[in-house]
Amino acid sequence: MNSHINLKNIMPEQLKHTDLDRVDVHCSPPDFEPQRQYYFMAKCRQYVKEESERVGHILTASVITFGCQMNARDSEKLSGILEAVGYELTECEEADFVIYNTCTVRDNANQRVYGRLGHLNSLKKRNPHMRIALCGCMTQEPSVIEKLRRSYRFVDLIFGTHNIFKFAELLCDMFEAEGMTVDIWEDTTQIVEDLPVERKYPFRSGINIMFGCNNFCSYCIVPYVRGRERSREPGEILREIRELVSDGVVEVMLLGQNVNSYGKNLKNPMSFAQLLKEVEKIEGLKRIRFMTSHPKDLSDELIQVMKESEKICRHLHLPLQSGSTRILKAMNRKYTKEQYLELVEKIRREIPDMAITTDIIVGFPGETPEDVEETIDVVRRVRYDNAFTFIYSRRTGTPAAAMGNQVPEDVVKEGFDRLLKVVQDTARERVAELSGQIHRALAEEVNGQDPAYLTGRLSNNTIVHFKGDKSLIGKILPVYLKECHGFYYIGEISQENTEKAGV
């Protein structure tokens, strides 16, 4: 057919609108991205079609995500490609293709994956057409790959975080190969734009603004499995957000391991605060969130931009990790207890309604009950709106794993429980302070327990359930916060549109 499209002649922005069934896959694949991946999508479409005909139904695929927002966004990219090659997406694991996008930040994340893989194997025995893939942070660890090769031979495809952009090509390899396909890269400097994405929510989206991490906190495996910090070009980020807004998105979450160091390594360096100012200008966009802020890099410029913004949400996630200066030093966090408290005070002085949440680790090597008291002291002073507390997990290859003074389990547990109680009490008090006020909430979904209710989120990230029809999903509505139930509210849509409603 002379209607065959040669992808080598198509501009990257137009690829998403190209009819993949008309792409010429008999010529050699383009050797540049993202055209190359669209070539493999077109090729893979044929494999999926042939197999669908063979098995007598459209092949189904399920993407299961573990870990953080970054992984959730990657999963949307995987889903985009699966859909483009002709799979029907499902949430059920009884599918023809199941991919686990894994996390390895703590050991229990890994154990969960191994446990569930056993279950997948039993499903595969019943459905011989089933294929299983594994990607994400866990697969960047050589010991994991060894274990998978040894004891999980039923996995068909394994790739990592650095080559996720070539998922379409890897899918083709999987269809063509006998047995396990494994492709793991040690690092990359590449950022491939313009690949398809399938969003979980029509009205809200995560946006990667940077990848990787250079901080090397001594307990953390992320820099080893996600590689060095790389920022996306601001033009690409803004273009993506504009496209999302024209597709119905009202809220974006800018994602990076440390968004405050955004832009430092760009050809034309730009600060995170400057990027936010540009995002703010996008018409039709209503709310801006971001995650995560490292306290060491949170600038006065950023505080000012947040203060003046009408779109940036009143929520800052500011991981503390520990309140003991001695432990913070051993963690390589590069701030002291006092510096952290001063920063919080400055933020609260400038933006009094800012909700602050945090992450805390208990049981870092050498931590004593007195150190935990220091952490509890910070929690009492800051009065976090919410805090995620984690028991320290020893990650092979990190400096902390080699430290001699690991804390016994019972001591960790005691400190953890003591901290958790204070965290929960202060968070409850903080959340309750909004009682009787009217705030705007973005209606996100039908309530899981009572379908007459919707679940919404305030600018400060508090959850509110209120009566409403599902046609309101994706809308920002004033909600009267009637009853506080610990960490969430039961509310009512308000007819008043008060000044207090905020972003």
Cis, peptide link before residue 202, omega less than 30° from 0: no
Residue 321 in contact with ligand SAH, rule: CB under 6 A: yes
CA torsion angle for 117, 119, 123, 126 (degrees, to 10)?
Answer: 120
Residue 196 in contact with ligand F3S, rule: CB under 6 A: no
* Residues that bind ligand SF4 in the complex, under the rule CB under 6 A: 213, 215-217, 220, 222-223, 257-258, 294
Q: For ligand SF4, which is the closer residue by CB, 133 or 318?
A: 318
Compute the least distance from the CB of residue 257 to ligand SF4, in Å: 4
Residue 222 in contact with ligand F3S, rule: CB under 6 A: yes
As a whole number of Å, the end-to-end CA separation of the chain is 54
How many chain residues interact with ligand F3S (CB under 6 A)?
11
- Rounded distance between C-alpha atoms, residue 181 and residue 154, angstroms: 11
Q: List binders of ligand F3S among 112-131 (CB under 6 A).
A: none
Binding-residue pattern over the window 381 to 410 for ligand SAH, x denoting contact by CB under 6 A: ---------x-xx-x---------------
Q: Cβ neighbours of residue 79 under 8 Å, at least 6 residues apart?
A: 63, 89, 197, 198
Number of other CB atoms surrounding residue 482 within 10 Å: 13
Compute the least distance from the CB of residue 427 to ligand SAH, in Å: 16
Q: Which does 71 bind (CB under 5 to 8 A by kind): ligand SF4, ligand SAH, ligand F3S, none?
A: ligand F3S
Q: Pick from 15, 41, 59, 70: which binds ligand F3S (CB under 6 A)?
A: 70
Q: Pick from 95, 137, 372, 477: which binds ligand F3S (CB under 6 A)?
A: 137
Q: Considering just the CA atoms, what is the radius of gyration of the chain in Å?
A: 24
- Rounded distance between C-alpha atoms, residue 195 and residue 169, angstroms: 13
Q: For ligand F3S, which is the closer residue by CB, 81 or 137?
A: 137
- Rounded distance between C-alpha atoms, residue 239 and residue 207, angstroms: 11
Which range in 5-13, 66-74, 84-92, 119-127 contacts ligand F3S by CB under 6 A? Answer: 66-74
- Rounded distance between C-alpha atoms, residue 342 and residue 337, angstroms: 9
H-helix or E-strand spanning residue 287: strand 287-291
Residue 280's nearest CA partner among 316, 315, 307, 258 is 307
Beta bridge partners of residue 251, listed in sequence order: 204, 287
Q: List binders of ligand SAH among 424-483 (CB under 6 A).
A: none
Binding site for ligand F3S (CB under 6 A): 67-68, 70-71, 103-105, 137, 222, 225-226
Binding site for ligand SAH (CB under 6 A): 105-106, 219-220, 222, 257-258, 292, 294, 319, 321, 359, 361, 390, 392-393, 395
